[in-house]
Amino acid sequence: MADWTERFSLAGRMALITGASDGIGAEIARVYADAGASLIISGRDASKLSVVEEQIRDSGAECRSLVSPLETAEGASMLAEEALRFAGTIDILVNSAGVALINPATELSIEDWDLTMAVNLRAPFILAKMLAPGMIQQRWGKIINISSQTGVIALADHAAYASSKGGLNALTKSLMAEWARHNIQVNAICPTVVLTPMGEEIWSPEEKRRPFIENTPLGRFGQPVEIADLALYLASPAAELVNGSTIMIDGGYSSV
């Protein structure tokens, strides 16, 4: 049996990570680079994306950045096409890009609803659909969807976001059912509030933050590296029996 470093190694693998300009996606990219992967990272902010790319290259890993407008079907398709043109085959897909437009349902615009579904649900489907044939051909692949605890439990003012993440969880299971026989693992990570720039902005009001933390047995929010470490496990050979799972990483919130 290989030692534990080999079981958790991503050496020789090519990963595409969306939403890698900052936050969870950027942290996953850095952790994957440390584990030996080559990377294609995408995001909407070219300047932030270039900083992450430079950090990864300075660490000695191969990295290419692609600016991608995932709010359109064409943008998601173009990202997949460019990634395949550059790499030939993508071994690991991490769908980390997302938008969180938090409003009471009665105040939620149809435009915000449609944007949320486009980025959080349609784009992961398009990318998985277009990258899966290469994974099927080589009989190895990992697809990791960054979902949310709100895809499993209810939170007020999250109608669009929660619906998109619940759909992403269902998509995870459906793709697993189709592709498991090809040795492809498809899993979703469902974090609590994570202290990314987006998480800080949404949850900065004390009257909103305090009750949530008080209802979390661990008594705190998450850090991006904690999500990245789980994403590393799921991308590694160590997790080949884990398939179709929606893994809660929420300090116990959903268990009480």
Q: Which residues are catalytic?
A: 161
Contact partners, residue 149, CB within 8 Å, separation at least 6: 190, 191, 192, 248, 250, 253, 254
Report DSSP letters for 55-77, one per residue.
HHHHTT--EEEEE--TTSHHHHH
Number of Cβ within 10 Å of residue 28's Cβ equals: 32
Q: Are 43 and 25 in contact (CB under 8 A)?
A: yes
Report DSSP letters for 78-145, one per residue.
HHHHHHHHHHSS-SEEEE-------B-GGG--HHHHHHHHIIIIIHHHHHHHHHHHHHHHHT-EEEEE
